[in-house]
Amino acid sequence: MKQLTIVRHAKSSWDYNVGDRDRPLKERGINDAILMASHIKNKISLPDAVFSSPASRALQTCTIFLRMMDIPEERLQLTNELYDFSGASMRRFIKTLSDDYEKVMIFGHNHACTDVSNNFGDSEIENLPTAGMVHLTFEADSWKSIQNGKTALTVFPKDLR
């Protein structure tokens, strides 16, 4: 069985004159990421591998989750394929994951996170909010063959405040 946890980066700040890839989290985003990671720590299994978009806001969100969930940093890999806003690149990336990984966590952007959740899961999400998380499970032995997964858990920060 394959398990995929999708996390949209937390709320970012527009207060700085930086490019899109360099936008940091705002204080609310940091707090939401801490809240979410603390909440799901004991609700999902620790991932075998973690992949993040290299954008600052995604990587900062990912780093908070790693620390709060006690996930070893060695499991983290950055990939430009997750700096995706449509979902096509993210779907391709997931389908090419090594089958050595049973449980994978990815950190990315919208609309890609919503698209992947809806394409691979069995419940429709209108919009995965910032710091929102979807956990999918698949009756599959290979990432390239995943389809028709089960949306096992969905958590949004607003539900925890």
Domain that holds residue 12: 2-159
Query: Residue 92: how many CB atoms within 10 A of its CB?
Result: 11
Residue range 37-51: mean pLDDT, rounded: 96
Residue range 100-106: mean pLDDT, rounded: 98
142-146's contacts with Cβ under 8 Å and 24+ in sequence apart are 142/2, 142/99, 143/2, 143/94, 143/95, 143/96, 143/97, 143/98, 143/99, 143/101, 144/95, 144/96, 146/2, 146/4, 146/94, 146/95, 146/120
Q: What is the pLDDT of residue 63?
A: 98
- Tally of domains in the chain: 1
Q: What is the pLDDT of residue 123?
A: 95
Q: Is 92 assigned a ligand-binding role in the annotation?
A: no
> What pLDDT, in 10s, does the model give residues 119-133?
999 999 999 999 999
Q: What is the pLDDT of residue 161?
A: 79
Residue range 88-107: mean pLDDT, rounded: 98
CATH number at residue 22: 3.40.50.1240
pLDDT band with cut points at 50, 70 and 90 for residue 146: very high
